[in-house]
Structure 1
Amino acid sequence: MIVLVLNCGSSSVKFQLIRTSLEDIEAGTEEKLGRGIIGKIGMTTATVAFEAEGRPPVRETPVILEHRVAIERVLSLLTDPDVGVIKDRSEIGAVGHRVVHGGEKFAQSQLITEEVLREIVECIELAPLHNPHNVRGYEIARELLPDVPHVAVFDTAFHQTVPEHAYLYGLPMVLYRRHGIRRYGFHGSSHRYLTARMERLLGRPRTEFNLITCHLGNGCSVTAVQHGRSIDTSMGFTPLEGLVMGTRSGDLDPAVILHVMAKEELTLHEANTLLNKHSGLIGVSGISNDMRELIKEAQRGDQHAQTAIDLFCYRLKKYISAYYGVLGGADAVVFAGGIGENAAVVRERSCDGLESLGMIMDPKRNEELNGREGRISTDDSPVGIYVVLTDEEMVIARDTARAIAGNL
């Protein structure tokens, strides 16, 4: 089966075409046919990038004013005789959609029916910046590909196994009952992929090991995975909680923002923008939200860049240490995402001083495996430390195949 994976954001459509089946999933023989992104939708000039094995890459800057045109362009790229990978859109057997928030309604991926769609729409109040665009992408794709099944894969679903004592906040219980105020967690598809991949790397079923998985990109989260199940995660009611991120503050005394709002006379919208768009690495450094740039500037002696890196690594170390305790010990720590896979200095700094917990980094391996998968701890380290190249699109394709087969 050929699955089209769609991830529709406010101004972008990420897509990937993957050949998969239950047999391929079991054997690990799925095939990635092509992938791309259409960005800056609705702006004067959009950006189109598409790559497929054995085909010339596509780089364009057309005018794409709305998502329908973008998804139509995706289908035309995939079927283009010169750069595409299929002859006709009828070869697409299913569409898998990333949906950010499933609330408490969805603990696994779902074939999208009218009832499922209504419940996804009801979750918009929990993710007003994401779910509307996910829904719009589905509606357009359903119109363009009406004869194939569509499946929703939720970022939050993996964390529905987090126990009550870990997902509740110290607020009046009535706020949970009325408004669903609780920890939901995000990046679930990535943490699921890392858990599945570690089965192969450790040579054991997930029910026999504990993991601390670190998804580190512009958005960052850490999850405590006990016997294959998420039991705690750093992101909370929204993706704002937890680690310091590219533009998000992470953990913060709630009184701070109330104080700042009063002193700076900020509206709710301005305060939200401050915390989500102007904080984190960009806010502390005043330079960039890109860890690569900060590392370069720190090497040149910029103290603000160094402070931002120090803060990022310190917060990550705190979460790794805390989740080691939550799990009662871990078999491995896993780094993934753009920072986790490519920033050796972040991995080193985040594990420095954790030798007493059994995490012993091998500096040579850590440097050599930048951008590559493998073990970066010493052979005798009681807790393995690994770099794994995460693949959220593959999780979506696999779940799409499983949902259609009734095998979730």
Structure 2
Amino acid sequence: MSTVFVVNSGSSSIKYQVVDLDTSRALISGLVERIGEPGSAVSDHHIGMSIVLAKLGDLGAGILAVGHRVVHGGSDFTGPTLIDDEVERDIESLSRLAPLHNPANLLGIRAARAALPDVPHVAVFDTAFHQSMPPAAYTYAIPTALAEEYKVRRYGFHGTSHKFVSERAAELLGRPLAEVRTIVLHLGNGASATAIAGGRSVDTSMGLTPLQGLVMGTRSGDIDPAVVFHLNRAAGMSVDELDTLLNRQSGLLGLTGMNDMRDVQAAAIDGNERAELALQVWRHRIRHYIGAYYAQLGGLDALVFTAGVGENNALLRRRAVAGLGHIGIEIDADRNELVSKEARVISPEGAPVTVMVIPTNEELEIARQVASVV
């Protein structure tokens, strides 16, 4: 049996899964939470990893390799990478670009390498898939020397999800991946859109950090940078306060007081005007990116919904693309309402653009990328 142990480490949690590559199925999965928090019996990630390995039982003996999700790989890491001490240091040095994520990812890497020193460990980066973007797509119009010194550019995120889903879309179409033009909408509490041509990312909505782009649960998405200057001068807000505002207090939460899309949608149905406006802003931003990426791709073969909202919310899928028939994007009402965990087509038969719902599987994608290295 060929199994990969997939680790997604947060600052106070370890999410894990053992994937059987022969069947593409998860043999076991789980989550250790509240690591290092007051009153927790799990004092650090090393203790947390020992708990995880105890839960794996006999499966632990057959692990081929360990795959680690790492959020930010900068421009240096363009694919899955065997982890050694130097790679660890490189990931740590990139923490200034992802201060909430890379340090937490490193905690899991160090705990797993200590607990399983005799198997290869591989880092799979959220940003790697988007390294195929052309310079015109990833370059910000600020002074070149400054951008190069401080590594300021668009990186993009959710790369493992966008890669997995776009490849599955080509399979459903029955066409070679190299021929397919796809827009993937990864819609969850975090959300991003990506234009993919021939299996390669050519543009994506997230930027230097996951803050840019679509409206999210607590993140603002696109905003005029001058808003930051204005709030600093007029409201006296500090850099840290502005960071918290845009990353943790904005998006759906800022517009409605609720960050869960299910709650926002229920409030809108009950007549809450703020909730209805939030849904309209959310929809407007998505359509903005669909239009932009349709133009960048020179047409479109598939539009794919994935992640929590994209996979499970038929009403919001319908609202997101209503009125886009003029560019070939339509949804069949009955197909859209079908509740299923399987990948499926929800556009009418013969539609110019095939609209799909494809459940993402980032753990399986990580496992496959790990296998390609080891």
TM-score band, normalised by shorter chain: over 0.9
Counterpart in the other structure of 1:84: none
User: Hey, what does 2:36 align to over in structure 1?
Assistant: 42
Task: Give the root-mean-square deviation of aligned CA atoms.
Answer: 1.3
What TM-score do you get using the length of structure 1 for normalisation? Answer: 0.89
Query: Residues 105 and 398 (structure 1 numbering): CA distance in 2 closer, same or farther, change over 3 Å?
Result: same
1:45 Cα deviation after fit: 5.9
The farther-off stretch of 31-40 and 373-382 is 31-40
Per the TM alignment, residue 126 of structure 1 is displaced from its structure 2 partner at its CA by: 1.4
Amino acid at match of 2:279: I
Kept in 2: contact 1:369–1:387 (CA 8 A)? no
2:227 counterpart of 1:227 = no
Name the structure 1 match of 2:236.
265
Aligned length: 373
Residue number in structure 2 paired with 1:312: 282
The corresponding residue for 2:125 is: 154
Aligned match of 2:273 in 303, 309, 325? 303
**Which residue of structure 2 lines up, in the alignment, with residue 282 of structure 1?**
253
Provide the C-alpha distance between the structure 2 equivalents of 1:336 and 1:318, rounded to a whole number of angstroms: 18
Moved more, 208-217 or 368-377: 368-377
Match of 1:347 in 2: 317
Structure 1 runs (4+) greater than 3 angstroms displaced: 369-372
Match among 88, 91, 100 for residue 117 of structure 1: 88
What's the TM-score, normalizing by structure 2?
0.97
- Give the Cα separation in 2 of the matches to 1:40 and 1:292: 25
1:171 to 2:103 alignment: no
Equivalence map 1:59-78=2 (5 Å): 63-78=41-56
Do the aligned residues in 2 keep the contact of 1:105 with 1:119 (CA within 8 Å)? no
Q: Report the residue type matching 2:49 in the other structure.
A: I
- CA offset at residue 338 of structure 1? 0.3
Instruction: Write out per-residue CA displacement over residues 318-366 of structure 1, whole angstroms, 9 at most, x where no aligned residue.
Output: 1111101110001000000001001112111111111111011111211
Larger deviation: 34-43 or 217-226? 34-43
Separation in structure 2 between the aligned mates of residue 40 and residue 342 of structure 1, nearest angstrom:
28
The answer as to whether partners of 1:340 and 1:387 remain within 8 angstroms in 2 is yes
Residue 390 of structure 1 pairs with residue 360 of structure 2 = yes
For the Cα contact (< 8 Å) 1:344–1:370, is it kept in 2?
A: no
Q: Offset of 1:89 from its aligned partner?
A: 2.6
In the alignment, the residues of structure 2 paired with residue 88 and residue 365 of structure 1 have an alpha-carbon distance, to the nearest angstrom, of 39
1:4-403 matches, within 5 Å, as 4-20=5-21, 24=22, 29-44=23-38, 63-79=41-57, 87=58, 89-286=60-257, 288-369=258-339, 371-403=341-373
Unmatched segments (≥5 aa) in structure 2: none
The Cα of 1:282 is off from its aligned counterpart by 0.6
Change (3 A) 1:135 1:302: same
CA distance in 2 between partners of 1:67 and 1:360 (Å): 47
Q: Offset at 1:113? A: 2.1
Task: Tell me how far apart the structure 1 counterparts of residues 66 and 166 of structure 2 sit (CA, whole Å).
Answer: 24
Give the SS at the match of 1:93. strand
Shift of 1:88: 5.7
**Structure 2: which amino acid aligns with 1:34?**
I
